[in-house]
Amino acid sequence: MTRITSIALRRVLDSRGNATVEADVLTESGGFGRAAAPSGASTGEYEAVERPPSEAIAAAREHAVPRLEGLYAGDQREVDAALRAADGTEDFSAIGANSAVAISMAAAKAAADVIGAPLYQHLGGAFRGENFPVPLGNVIGGGEHAADATDIQEFLAAPVGAPSVSEAVFANAAVHAAAASILADRGVPAAKGDEGALAPSISDAEAFEVMAEATDRVAEEVGFSIRFGLDMAGAELYDADADAYVYGEETRSPDEQVEYVAGLIEEYDLAYVEDPLDEDDYDRFATLTERVGDRTLICGDDLFVTNVDRLEEGIDVGAANSILIKPNQIGTLSQAFDAVELATRNGYDSVISHRSGETEDTTIAHLAVATDAPYIKTGTVGGERTAKLNELIRIADGAV
Ligand SMILES: O=C(O)[C@@H](CO)OP(=O)(O)O
Ligand SMILES: [Mg+2]
């Protein structure tokens, strides 16, 4: 165990061209860790607060760094408790969840460096599971991530039958390529959204057709099952004044939304549906999970925001059967681990996730392996996405 001697914070670019916070943590024995905060576009109302990077950095330098210097980098809980104490609020609105998560992740990497272990090993321990997560890959998308594209935010390939993480990663890339070629055959131009997904100006109904064809085609080629799923980002579709989900010209009442999603799951055998409803509608989440939870993952992202209190509430009413885990939604690795643990104890599957604004940071690949998470959602193509996917391949290959 060695003590933290210094922490450096700076602004670096994220994949949208915005500034984000990067942290370097150095220990007395020379252990070094560097990590950068990601950033969401379709952020949940109950997420920890991201401050403008310059302000977050100034506040963290003043309040957090002096408390952290001298602590043991390897004692993650102590580091994260010090971050919380330095902040003093419930939602990291003082030092910013962006500074907090960058420091929390960089401390973990410095501690791994001190003992010469890969990050997943340091975080997961010697007796972590042998499993690798199934990558959910964003193939077609719109919503808050691309203008003039689908209303549903993400259509995700789910290579559930892949024999290895590497085959799964390549299958998702092949589905992305197949969807691009199907769109080209239909004469539809497709730019890319924030996460590298194709962002054609088509209806959701057409996107379902393209996804079904692309996943079938690639499944046939590779010889294992590839299903698909959605992130509906329900809170973005929901208009509280109208009490309705708005899809362009069309609207659906909350009860119609439940029927619509259940119908889609039936028609397309969807493996996964994230945020089918608004982030406050625990009851309809529960109604839907009761109906389809035996064959589909109903995942809470904006619903749970990686927060154990919100997850507890969801568990009590049976609101879902899986949770999206985004460390920057809650601000520290310890709290992200707590959410995974609570989920696992209650039979909820964890999906470790990127944000739409990302950097080349690969921490979430290690987090997924360390926690034995059954799924990871981290895009399909694009450098900041492939950074994580390639890291997963290297971890599986024992090359990290
Ligand atoms: O809604 C989501 O799940 C994420 C990542 O795909 O998007 P954002 O980072 O914009 O919240
Ligand atoms: Mg989401």
Q: Does the structure show a pLDDT above 90 at 1?
A: no
Nearest-atom number in ligand 1 for the CA of 41 is: 10
* 125 occurs within a structural domain: no
**For ligand 1, is residue 43 a contact (CB within 6 Å)?**
yes
pLDDT at 279: 98
- Å from CA of 325 to ligand 2 middle: 10
Q: Are residues 330 and 383 in the same domain?
A: yes
Q: Does the structure show a pLDDT above 70 at 56?
A: yes
Strand order in the sheet with 32-36: 4-13, 19-27, 32-36
What is the rounded CA–CA span in Å between residue 44 and residue 234? 10
Q: Which two tokens stand for residue 320?
A: 């879902």
Ligand 1 mutation pick, 15, 301, 330, 359, max ligand atoms within 8 A of CB: 301
Give the domain-ending residue among 67, 85, 116.
Answer: 116
Number of domains in the chain: 2
| Percentage of the chain modeled with pLDDT above 90 | 98
pLDDT at 305: 98
pLDDT digits (tens, 9 = 90+) for 97-121: 999 999 999 999 999 999 999 999 9
- Å from CA of 236 to ligand 2 middle: 10
Alpha carbon distances (Å) from 4 to 23, 31, 68:
13, 9, 7
Determine the distance from the C-alpha atom of residue 237 to the mean position of all C-alpha atoms in its chain, rounded to a whole number. 19
**Atom 8 in ligand 1: which residue has the minimum CA distance?**
40
Nearest-atom number in ligand 1 for the CA of 274 is: 3
* 194 occurs within a structural domain: yes
Q: Are residues 271 and 152 in the same domain?
A: yes
**pLDDT confidence tier of residue 130, bands split at 50, 70 and 90:** confident
In this prediction, residues 176-201 reach a mean pLDDT of 97
**pLDDT confidence tier of residue 218, bands split at 50, 70 and 90:** very high
Q: Are residues 163 and 108 in the same domain?
A: no
Q: Are residues 67 and 155 in the same domain?
A: no
Question: Active site includes 326?
Answer: yes
Distance from first CA to last CA of the chain, Å, rounded?
21
What is the rounded CA–CA span in Å between residue 195 and residue 189? 17
| Percentage of the chain modeled with pLDDT above 70 | 100
CATH number for 93:
3.30.390.10
Q: Are residues 312 and 227 in the same domain?
A: yes
Q: Are residues 218 and 359 in the same domain?
A: yes
In this prediction, residues 251-255 reach a mean pLDDT of 98
**pLDDT confidence tier of residue 128, bands split at 50, 70 and 90:** confident
ipTM for the predicted complex:
0.99
Question: Active site includes 47?
Answer: no
Domain with 336, as residue range(s), is 134-396
Options 22, 50, 195, 358, the catalytic residue: 195
* 190 occurs within a structural domain: yes
pTM: 0.98
Q: Are residues 156 and 80 in the same domain?
A: no
Who contacts 290 (Cβ-Cβ below 8 Å, separation ≥6)? Answer: 318
How would you label 251-265 residue by residue, b for 16+ Cβ within 10 Å and e otherwise? ebebeebbebbbebb
Q: Are residues 190 and 308 in the same domain?
A: yes
In this prediction, residues 46-56 reach a mean pLDDT of 98
pLDDT at 59: 98
Who contacts 173 (Cβ-Cβ below 8 Å, separation ≥6)? Answer: 137, 380, 381
Q: Are residues 72 and 156 in the same domain?
A: no
| DSSP code string of 215-255 | HHHHHHHHTS--EEEEE--HHHHEETTTTEEEETTEEE-HH
* 307 occurs within a structural domain: yes
CA torsion, ordered 121, 381, 271, 266, to nearest 10 deg: 170
In this prediction, residues 86-92 reach a mean pLDDT of 98
Give the domain-ending residue among 116, 144, 177.
Answer: 116
pLDDT at 129: 81
* 175 occurs within a structural domain: yes
In this prediction, residues 20-45 reach a mean pLDDT of 97
∠ Cα 202 377 368 (to 5°): 180
- Å from CA of 115 to ligand 1 middle: 34
Residue spans of beta strands (DSSP E) within the chain: 4-13, 19-27, 32-36, 134-141, 154-158, 190-192, 198-200, 227-231, 238-239, 244-247, 250-252, 272-274, 297-300, 322-325, 349-353, 375-377
Q: Does the structure show a pLDDT above 70 at 320?
A: yes
pLDDT at 126: 87
* 123 occurs within a structural domain: no
pLDDT at 98: 98
Nearest-atom number in ligand 1 for the CA of 377 is: 6
pLDDT digits (tens, 9 = 90+) for 260-273: 999 999 999 999 99
What is the rounded CA–CA span in Å between residue 166 and residue 172? 10
* 253 occurs within a structural domain: yes
Q: Are residues 53 and 139 in the same domain?
A: no
CATH number for 269:
3.20.20.120
Residue spans of beta strands (DSSP E) within 118-195: 134-141, 154-158, 190-192
Q: Are residues 109 and 191 in the same domain?
A: no
Helix axes 53-63, 97-115, angle to 10 degrees: 60
Q: Are residues 101 and 49 in the same domain?
A: yes
Q: Does the structure show a pLDDT above 90 at 154?
A: yes
- Computed over every residue of the chain, the mean pLDDT equals 97
Give the domain-ending residue among 69, 85, 116.
Answer: 116
* 110 occurs within a structural domain: yes
